A and B are shown apart, each in its own frame.
Chain A
Amino acid sequence: MEAKSVVPVGLNCFRAAMKRVLPVMLVCVLSLPLASLSNAAPEILEIKTDTGVNAWLVREPSIPIISVQIAFRGGTITDPVGKEGLANMVSGLLDEGAGELDSAAFQERLQELAIGFSASANKDTFRISMRTLVEHRDEAFRMLGLALSEPRFDPQPVERIRQQITVGLNRDAENPNRIASHTWFAKVFPDHVYGRPNRGSVESIAAITTEDLAAFTRTRFARDNAIIGVVGDVTPEELSRLLDISFGGVAATAGAITVPETMPSPEGSVTVIRKQIPQSVVTFGLPGIKRDDPDYYAAYVMNYVLGGGGFTSRLYQEVREKRGLAYSVYTYLYPYEYSAIYLGGVATVNARIGESLAIIRAQIADVAENGITAEELERAKTFLNGSFPLRLDSNAKIARMLVGIQLDSLGKDYVQRRPELINAVSLGDIQRIAKRLLGSGGLTIVVVGDPVGIQNDG
């Protein structure tokens, strides 16, 4: 969802130059489709190291690099009350010194050896991404190990990153996309950790101590909590040795996560946040569907037709192509670990945002009532089955997919099975899920801007 503000505008490099200003909310890479060409599915090797680390590997010898993706369960949802933003702050500090290397030494070493290393925190998971040239693999995995088990959290870098996050939060306070999104989450999850912004608030960031940071790494970075995907020019034996270097110093087991299941209220509401900007930015959404729900694939196909399908979706056609009401209009399924939402967005000049919302409401009502056509179903299936393998065109993307499949317990043969799962969706399935998702409650809408003819409804 943050992606919609990714469009590089103006002085965006300020953001790039600061380390922790962009929250990462691309939660469910994997709930995107997978598919045909499964004959081309990469062979997945399962690895269990001597110290008990599990990982999936796809060997790719054609480029002398190794891409590593790691997810630890428990992201910003584990932030203690009053310390919201802790996981995100840890992610900003992971390359700020570990073991014998202080902040500058750690980063210079990464640069010298061209090791790409980054971390991020989303709601359900804490992610680390690393890439290295094969020739520097030993040092890369050693440095990863230092970051995991011996982060220094020296006072200077801690304050620096705290300031950067604070500046980012201040900047976002006037960013219409961020305001819309934060307000929406707070509205639908009023009493739940999913309603909190991933990066916390200026106050909660100020409250975080070095001990909080260290406690996060001790409880989350554990061998039984690491979901790992690796793609590159490395053998299983070699990877096993390398992972033991990285994970030798971390705990065997992670702390428990106690987050209650929840669903957004189906009540629906309209919230207007008045800002003097020419274009109204809207986030809208509904309760969603979890990844392990038997109707997930039906919902997936339905979403493609309604608002997820790029240039061909109904919303794109009705709002953009026919009427020129928006540059971007879209919907997503966001299944979380303990909840699920169905989210969308649009931005239209203040005078006409009411038209955009009326069309979106009408399209949602139409699908809820009538489902989709047989032709739409067929087109969706062929796209969803055809497009999945196309997205696996780099080592880094395949590594991310390996992590996603494991996170969602989809099974090693998921890539091969996925076309059947998509093809099995019938018009009846779509009718059922459309009624359930789109027909049972009202939209929760947040409008940021100076919209004409739209009022708060409480």
Chain B
Amino acid sequence: MGLNLTAKISMAARWHAVAIAAVTASILLLGSFAAGARADTSRGLFNPQQFTLGNGMQVVVISDHRAPVVTHMVWYKVGAADDPPGKSGLAHYFEHMMFKGTRTVPEGEFSKIVARLGGRENAFTSYDYTGYFQTIASQHLDTMMRLEADRMSNLVVRETDIAAEREVVQEERRSRLENNPGGLLGEQMSSAQFLSHPYGRPVIGWEHEVAALSRSDLLEFYDEHYAPNNAVLIVAGDATVEQVRPLAEKYYGAIPAQEIESRKRLREPPQRAARRVIMRDPRVRVPSWSRTYLAPSQTAGESQHALPLQVLSEILGGGTTARLYKRLVVEEKIASGAGASYRGSSKDLSRFYVYASPQPGGDLEPIETVIEEEIAKLLVSGVTEEELNRAKAGMVAGAIFARDSLAAGARFFGAALAVGRTAEDVESWPQRIAAVTAEEILAAARHVFEERLSVTGLLLPKQGG
């Protein structure tokens, strides 16, 4: 799901490459599900069951007994956008430190136990939330809950671990960004779009700010944000709500609630001018053009436009049958790839993303011209019923296919609850997508596709060598 996803999600990736790939795939699936949708309305989609512990921790159980396997996740309602000013990367760095042991469980022991039980684990940090998960044989759910609850309040943060892990985080930054000009441009485009709001800073943090983070920063962050009333527990797979409830009460319910400050983030001033970011790098062999438009999300701005924008992103750029690909790649033959994406799942304002890459030897100017033509055409004529129906059919079916993955369901609910949306919201998504009209799409397009709301990014080879 492109920039949205890539800008927002920075995995801890403690796994070797295969595991990273697997986890990434599940996030991508989430993206395509959320971006995309048809309704099997008779039985509900995931049929989640919910309750709240006495200390305020929310719990969602998604039963699926196909295999004796369970995915156990804890999502904290804190992410990179909650990093204090000047301390970018703190949420992500802290996520790494959560694997360093507690007062009762020595360093590395949690991972050893997970491995001994045949389980898999990882964690991820995005702008709006931080999540920890294990997938394991269902009889070990009890053990996972005990260990995960333990590190919610008993973490030990040692100076020696901090030093080594900081280097790991900086290597992660080099792998993802410094070694990759496309990644660096994406980072610059986010900064250009969000002047004040923390979505303008990278999840992984600026290198110099990460270098200056201290043990007390980490501890303070932990104290302020890691508490049961700031967390969501998701159990998906071979478990019933009757099994989960007593375990959740025993382990998580024993941790006292604490005062959590509401998430106060700097507000973004109105965008009044289109912004243009040009990056030249000798490593660029294939130039690319991309543009983001500041857009509402499902929980911020004029959020009634969010679902129509999801459908619109499918019609405009969801694949080889979409408008941009057809026009730029198939008809005009000026691009080798083109598309659009929008999820609108962020807590605060989101972005609608349009992009293309030229044919070998081709320029970016004609690409920009034709994409602007397509957007102008859309603003006048809207979308056709045929396009609308095809897009919606694919998106709704995507929701059914998503049921094939334990992790996918868990992620939909975790990501929604962590930003203040509800489980009902996720569950009703296919019906709401199916109800989107061409008029709503036109209104949403007119709301978003204003030149002054845009950031255009050009990735170019370095001239003269």
Contact = CB atoms under 8 A, between A and B. Distances in A.
Interface in B413-452: none
Given A156-B330, A311-B115, A312-B111, A63 B404 contact: yes
A452 B216 CA distance: 34
B280 interface: no
Contacts of A12: 2, 6, 182
B337 A324 contact: no
A104 B321 contact: yes
B5 A8 contact: yes
A386 B179 contact: no
A270 interface: no
Contact of B17 (A10, A317, A345): A345
A208 to B, nearest CB: 16
A359 interface: no
A60 interface: yes
Nearest to A3: B21
A17 B336 CA distance: 9
A149 B121 CA distance: 43
Contacts of B40: 64
Contact of A131 (B184, B237, B401): B401
Interface string A5-21: 01111111111111100
B401 A36 contact: no
Nearest to B21: A3
B400 A278 contact: no
Contacts of B195: none
B174 A311 contact: no
B183 interface: yes
A164 interface: yes
Interface string A202-219: 000000000000000000
A186 to B, nearest CB: 19
A14 B317 CA distance: 11
A131 B401 CA distance: 8
A18 B3 contact: no
A330 B182 contact: no
B390 A112 contact: yes
Nearest to A112: B390
Contact of A133 (B25, B164, B175, B400): B400
Contact of A8 (B28, B336, B390): B28
Interface in B179-218: 179-187
Given A13-B1, A167-B359, A281-B179, A387 B120 contact: yes
Given A12-B2, A279-B175, A308-B16, A396 B166 contact: no
B13 A9 contact: no
A311 B337 contact: no
B176 A349 contact: no
A36 B118 contact: yes
Contacts of A116: 401
B182 A14 contact: yes
B33 interface: no
B118 A386 contact: yes
Interface stretch (A188-196, A377-385, A409-417): A377-385
B401 A9 contact: no
Interface residues of A, number: 97
A223 B254 CA distance: 61
Contact of B185 (A11, A40, A65): A11
B67 A389 contact: yes
B243 interface: no
B374 interface: no
Interface string B392-419: 0110111011011110000000000000
A7 B178 contact: no
B288 A14 contact: yes
Contacts of B325: 17
Contacts of A457: none
Contacts of A420: none
A189 B395 CA distance: 45
Given A12-B6, A63-B400, A390-B119, A307 B16 contact: yes
A16 B286 contact: no
B2 A11 contact: yes
B337 A10 contact: no
B73 interface: no
B24 A62 contact: no
Given A13-B355, A108-B390, A321-B108, A160 B329 contact: yes
Given A9-B183, A63-B400, A64-B40, A383 B118 contact: yes
B16 A310 contact: yes
A362 interface: no
A261 interface: no
A26 to B, nearest CB: 8
B338 interface: yes
A386 B135 CA distance: 11
Given A10-B6, A327-B171, A166 B115 contact: no
Contacts of B165: 324
Interface in A304-339: 307-313, 316-317, 320-332
Interface stretch (A120-128, A168-176, A288-296, A423-431): A168-176
A21 to B, nearest CB: 8
A35 interface: yes
Contacts of B389: 112
Given A7-B20, A9-B182, A316-B16, A387 B118 contact: yes
A7 B175 contact: yes
A65 B400 contact: yes
A63 B337 contact: no
A396 B336 CA distance: 30
A9 B180 contact: yes
Nearest to A311: B111
Nearest to B25: A6
Contacts of A3: 17-18, 20-21
Interface string A393-416: 111100000000000000000000
Contact of A9 (B136, B176, B320): B176
A311 B179 contact: no
9 contacts: A8-B28, A10-B3, A104-B330, A107-B321, A160-B330, A166-B360, A279-B178, A311-B111, A389-B67
